[in-house]
Amino acid sequence: MKHQGNLSEKMWWRALKAVYVLAWLASLTLVGLLSYMQHPVTSEDLYNIRIVCDNKKTYKFEPKKLDSILHKVYFTDSEKEYLKKLCAYGNDGTNLTVSVLNTNFKTERLYNNYGSWESVLLYAVVGFAFIFVVLEAIKSILLYILGIPLYKGGLKYLVEIVNSK
């Protein structure tokens, strides 16, 4: 069995230990960042708006031109006519040919919610557990190959205790 004191003098052993520590730091940082990216975020819906009619009915609508930078909606004449009919008659107003000139509506932006703190916790616990198992397994395999006891007393000491009874 090799003594760890002899290995500490070897350059490759010190480099291997440094790589191991860097692997721990890099993987913990990566899991931390990936977990945090799951935190709750509210973002603006870039494709849909809410139409609020005078009669307080609301409809989700996808306009043909929506400027997400200036937060403006540009309606074509046919869209305006459709929305006025929709506000006046409901969903069945699309087939009507009557012009509804005095029906007004407002537009509101829609927002979507993504992520949760539960998913942050889940990603962190599973990720950190996976990293611990994988890196400890790699360390154990390397120490076994080199003939170094895994923990103080090592496995040989444990086998001697079991066999002595």
Ranges of each domain in the chain: 4-38+117-164, 41-114
Least Cα distance to 81 among 65, 71, 22, 89 occurs for 89
- For the stretch 106-146, pLDDT in tens is 777 778 888 899 999 999 999 999 999 999 888 888 877 87
Average pLDDT for residues 24-29, to the nearest whole number? 93
Query: How far, rounded to the nearest angstrom, does the alpha carbon of residue 15 sit from its chain's CA centroid?
Result: 34
Cite the DSSP H helix spans in the chain. 4-8, 11-36, 77-89, 117-146, 154-164
Average pLDDT for residues 40-45, to the nearest whole number? 82
CB 152 within 8 A of CB 5: no
Mean per-residue pLDDT over the chain, rounded: 76
**pLDDT tier at 98 (50, 70, 90 boundaries)?**
very low
Among the ranges 21-25, 81-85, 107-111, which has the highest mean pLDDT value?
21-25
**pLDDT tier at 97 (50, 70, 90 boundaries)?**
very low
Residue 52 scores a pLDDT above 50: yes
CB 88 within 8 A of CB 81: no
Residue 119: Cβ-neighbour burial (10 angstroms; 0-12, 13-18, 19+): middle
CB 112 within 8 A of CB 46: no
For residues 147 and 16, which has the higher predicted lDDT (pLDDT)? 16
Residue 13 scores a pLDDT above 50: yes
Please tell me the distance from the alpha carbon of residue 76 to that of residue 83, in angstroms, as a whole number: 11
